[in-house]
Amino acid sequence: MRSPFFVGGRPSGRTRSGGRKEISAKMKTPENQDMGPVYAVLREKAREIAGRLPVADFYRVHGSAIERSRETLQGNALLADVFTLVRQSIENDFGHGLTHARKVARDAGALMLIECEGIGMVPAAAERNLILVQAAGLLHDMRRKERHHAKAGAAFARQALAVFDLTPREVDFVCYAIRNHEAFQRVQPPPRPEATLMSDCLYDADKFRWGPDNFTDTLWDMVTFYNPPLAVFVARYPGGMRKLEEIKSTFRSDTGKRYGPQMIDFGVRIGRELMNVIRTEFTHLI
């Protein structure tokens, strides 16, 4: 996932090695002002607004699947090794770090369990799919700062997973899911029809993050990275809100289609309220 409020932008503030690059003139704040304190206040406002919303139906209705997914994510040996690999190389300064990866893995696993139960898959196969989609969730944004990050992430995963105890078919499924997770891109043809389920679960879990998570976390991590003037942030805001509306119709699994739009609606509500706060309390900075 990327925050919809920065669709089309590439990070220009820091290199992969962490060194500062020149920030482009378009993004420069007046007199290179550090906007961090302003965005920290806005993050808190957004979190206050989000805290007043009810728990999303997906988490309320499917608590047991989410808990089982969480337990597997914490207790499975293969996933522990994948997590160690991810922790060593993922970049945490862009809103798509470890916290994002773990949330996507958890929700993708829950979606997989629900979908597998829905089609009557045998438990052993469902359990294996759970582990594989969680591996995909942990790995999916490892190349997030690259221009074609889904493609680059799939290539990274293919190389990284070569030393893991997975069959070639399983590696193909995980890499296909990663390759196919980016919003508003043409859906890639699956290596086999059965690979679609894993891809759909990863995509939907990633797009769940365009709901409240966008306003409580991702957006602010990204603006901290870019440090745009508030006027630039505000100018991009309507486009970001439109992207939220557009993503609602793109959920792919039956469960994602049922619950995803509500999460996006929650995000839209937070976004609208937050803009009211900006227009009333921060007009001097716009």
Contact residues for Fe ion (CB under 5 A)?
1, 141, 206
How far is residue 92's CA from residue 112's CA, in Å, rounded to a whole number? 26
The minimum distance between CB 178 and Fe ion, in angstroms, equals: 8
- DSSP-derived 3-state class of residue 97: coil
d(CA 240, CA 217): 15
Kindly state the smallest distance separating residue 221's Cβ from Fe ion, in Å: 12
Which of residues 38 and 256 has its CB atom nearest to Fe ion in the complex? 256
Nearer to Fe ion, 197 or 205 (CB): 205
Backbone φ and ψ of 49, nearest 5°: -60, -45
Q: How far is the CB of 285 from Fe ion (least distance, A)?
A: 30
Instruction: Find how far residue 12's CA is from the centre of its chain.
Output: 20
Beta carbons of 260 and 252 less than 8 angstroms apart: no
Residue 133 token pair: 């989609």
Angle between helices 195-208 and 168-179 (to 10 degrees): 40
Residue owning tokens 């995909």: 136
Nearer of residues 1 and 278 to Fe ion, judged by Cβ: 1
Query: Judged by CB, which is closer to Fe ion: 207, or 248?
Result: 207
Q: How far is the CB of 32 from Fe ion (least distance, A)?
A: 30
CB of 141 to Fe ion, least distance (A): 4
- Residue with the closest Cβ to Fe ion? 1
- Which lies closer to Fe ion via its Cβ, residue 94 or residue 226? 94
